[in-house]
Chains A and B, each alone.
Chain A
C-alpha cells in the first residue's frame, strides 16, 4: 500500500518535474565528461546562447497552450532584425530601431493571429504561410544583402554585461518571469489555459476565444521580435537569412518542458528548462568534440525520447 502510494508520488512528481530531472542528469553527466563545462565562462556562454530560444519559447508556450503552433518565428527574427537595422541605418537612432523591430515582430504575430483566429485557418498552415511571407519580406527590404554595423549603442543588448551577467540573459530572466506571471496570475493566462483545454467550453462560458488566440500570437511575435533584436545586436548585423530553423528549437524547448501540444497544459518556466536542456546538450557535445552533424541527430533523438517518457509518465498517473 505504502509502496504503491510512494510509487504514485514518484510518478506524479516525475511527470511534473521530469524536465528538471533531465536537466540535472545532463548537468551531472556533462560535468564529468568535460572539465571546462562547469566554468563560469562556459556557463555564461551557454546562458547567452539559450536566452534567444528561451525568449521565443516563452511566447511559443502561450501559442501551444491554446493548442496552436507558430512555425514562423524564425522568419520573424529575420524580418524584425532587418527592419530594425534599416531604421538604425537611416536614422542613427538605435533605440528607435529596436522599438520598431520589436513592433514588427508583434505585427507579424498579429497577422498570424488574425489568420488563425478569424479566418479559421489551421495554425500549422497559417504560420507556415507566415514563415514564407516574413522571410520573403526580409529579402525584399534588404534586397538580399546583409546590413552590417560595428558601431552603435544597440549592440549593448546583445553584447553588453551588467554585473558580469550578459544582457540577453537578464532580458531572458525578465521575460520568463513576466510571462510566467502573466500565465498564472492574470485573467488572460487563465483564458489561454481554458481556450486550449476546451475551446467549446471556453466559448460557452462567454470567453472571447478568437481574441485570446489572437493575443497569444501577438505575444509570441512580440517576444520573437525581442529575440530578433538581441541576435541583431550580438551579430552586429541583420541578415535576411538569419533565424532559419529557430522554430524547431523553440518548439523543442516547449515540448521538452512537458507542455502538451494538445493544448491546455504547460508553463513558461518549464520551457526555460527545456531550452537549457537543448543548450547544454549542444554545448556539452561541442566540448566533447562531437561533430555538429551528429549533434543534430542527437537532438532529434532526445526530443522523441523526452516525449515518450512524458507520455509514459502521464499514462501511469
Chain B
C-alpha cells in the first residue's frame, strides 16, 4: 500500500517536471508519448501484439481499425484502466507506469470519451473545476472567483462559452469544448479523442476541427480515433492502422488513399473452424421496408432456413434496428411483413407470439436474470405453455424441456438448478439462445452471439446456427467479426448511419467490399 502510493508521488513529480505549471496552453512542442512493444492478452484473445505507437506535440495522429482491432484496449492502457502485459510507455523519453486513471491525468494524458463525463445540471465553471475545487477553497466555494477563473481559462484556450450556463443547456459540441477545456486546465499534453464527432452535426464538426487545429499548433499532441475516414484526411497528420491487435500500417495521411487504408484494416484470416454451410433457403418469412421517404435504405428480406448477416460499424444502428423490429424500441415508420402479411410488432410479447426471438448483445443486462436458475431462465419464454388453466407450472414438463436443451446445447452446469450468475460466459450465452429454442421460434435474431466467449463454444455456436437453418429457422446474425459473418451467412446487409446501404451475397463478397460499404464508400475502391 505505502509503496504504491510513493510510486504514485514519483510519477506525479515526473509529470510536473515535464510540464511547468503556467505555460499552458503553450506546451512543450517536443513532448512525445511513445508506446513500445505493447502487448495485452485477455482470456482467449490477444488484444494487442507488440504495438508501437507514437504521438508528438504539435501533431494529430489518427488511430483506425475495425471493431475489435484493439483501439479501445490501447486507449484503456493509456488511461490506466488496463495494464499492459509487456512493453514500455515513454513520455518525453522517460519510462512511466500508468497505474490508474489518476496517474494518467497527472502524466498529462486526457481522454475525451464518446459519452461525455460532465455533470449536466452544474454550470460550466463547476464542471471545469470538478474534483479540483480545493484549488479555490476548502470550505464554501467562492463562486464568483470560480466563474472568473473559468472565464480566464476559456479565453486563454479561445473557447467562447459562458461559464455560468448549466452544461445540460449546451449543445453536444459545446459540451465537448468544456471537456477539452477541463483537460487543458489540468495541463494535458496528450489529448486522446475517441470518436469525438459521433454525435455532432456538420457545423459542429467544423468548429471542433478548428479547435483541434489551434490546439495542435499550440503544441498539444492529439490522438484521434474515428471510423470516419474523410475526417481523418481533413484533420490528421499521421495515421496508424490496427488489425487484430497489430500495427499493420503507420505513416503520413497524405501518403495513403482511403481505399488503401480500408484494405489494410480488413483481411483477417478466415480460419477453418467455421463449419460448411448447406443453404436451405425456403419461403420468404420477414420483410422490413424502410419508412416511406427513406430512399437510401433497402428493404430487408429474410427467408426460412436462411442466415442473413448484418454488417456495419459499431453505432451503425444494427442493434437499434433489431430492437425496433421486435417492438422493444419505438418504431421509426418501417413497415414489417411476416410471410407477406403486414404485421405490427408493438412489443417483445407480440414478437414472441409471432415466433420471433432475440438473443441480445449484452447477455448480462438484457439476456438473463443472473440471480435465477438455469431452469427458470430457460423456461421464461414458455411459462404460458407450461402453465395449466389456473397458472400452475407443470414441473415435469418444465424440467424435461430444459434438460433436453441443456443436453442438446451441451450447457455445462452441475444441474439446471444453479444460478446463471455462476456460469461461464459461453454457457450463459447458450442459455439465452435456449430460451428461444424451447419456444420453437420461427426466427431468431442473434446480436453478437460469439462476443466474449471461448473458441470451443464459438464453434459449437456455429454448428448450432447451421442446424437451426437446416431446421428451416430464419436467422438474423449481427456480428462485427467479418470472417464469422462471411462464413456463417447466406446474404449480408450492410448498415451505414442507420440505413441498409448494401445487400451482398456472402459467397461472392469479401471483407474489403463489406468494409467499404460500412465506411460509407459505395463505389467500391475509389473514395
A positions within 8 Å CB-CB of B:
182, 185-188, 190-191, 193-194, 197-198, 200-208, 264-265
Contacts and interface: CB of A to CB of B under 8 A. Distances in A.
27 contacts: A185-B395, A186-B391, A186-B392, A187-B386, A187-B391, A190-B379, A190-B383, A190-B393, A193-B376, A194-B376, A194-B380, A198-B366, A198-B368, A201-B366, A201-B369, A201-B380, A203-B348, A204-B358, A204-B360, A205-B352, A205-B435, A206-B347, A206-B349, A206-B353, A206-B357, A206-B381, A264-B369
B372 A264 contact: yes
B370 interface: yes
Contacts of B371: 197, 264-265
A188 B352 contact: no
B368 A201 contact: yes
Given A190-B393, A200-B366, A207 B372 contact: no
Nearest to B365: A200
A259 B194 CA distance: 42
A197 B366 contact: no
A204 B368 contact: no
Nearest to A211: B349
Contacts of A185: 392-393, 395
B384 interface: yes
A203 B360 CA distance: 12
A194 B352 CA distance: 17
Contacts of A197: 369-372
A222 to B, nearest CB: 16
Most buried by B among A187, A197, A198, A206: A206
Given A194-B376, A205-B381, A264-B372, A187 B349 contact: no
| 3 tightest A-B CB contacts, nearest first | A206-B352, A197-B369, A187-B383
A198 B370 contact: yes
Contacts of B392: 185-186
Interface residues of B, number: 33
A281 to B, nearest CB: 29
Contacts of B326: 204
Interface string B375-418: 01001110110110011110100000000000000000000000
B367 interface: yes
A188 B391 CA distance: 7
A193 B372 contact: yes
A198 B371 CA distance: 9
User: Dominant SS at the A interface?
Assistant: helix
A207 B349 contact: yes
Interface in B197-254: none
B351 interface: yes
A280 B351 CA distance: 51
Given A187-B386, A194-B376, A202 B391 contact: no
A205 B380 contact: yes
B18 interface: no
B414 to A, nearest CB: 14
A204 B348 contact: yes
Nearest to A188: B391
Interface in B424-438: 435
Contacts of A200: 365-366
Nearest to A265: B371
Contacts of B352: 205-206
B372 A202 contact: no
B392 to A, nearest CB: 5
A152 B96 CA distance: 86
Contacts of B464: none
A136 B365 CA distance: 41
A271 to B, nearest CB: 18
Contacts of A203: 328, 348
Given A187-B383, A194-B372, A200-B366, A208 B349 contact: yes
B388 to A, nearest CB: 9
Contacts of B372: 193-194, 197, 264
Contacts of A204: 326, 328, 348, 358, 360, 366-367
A190 B376 contact: yes
B423 to A, nearest CB: 15
A187 B384 contact: yes
B369 A202 contact: yes
Nearest to A203: B348
Contacts of A194: 369, 372, 376, 380
Contact of A187 (B348, B358, B360, B387): B387
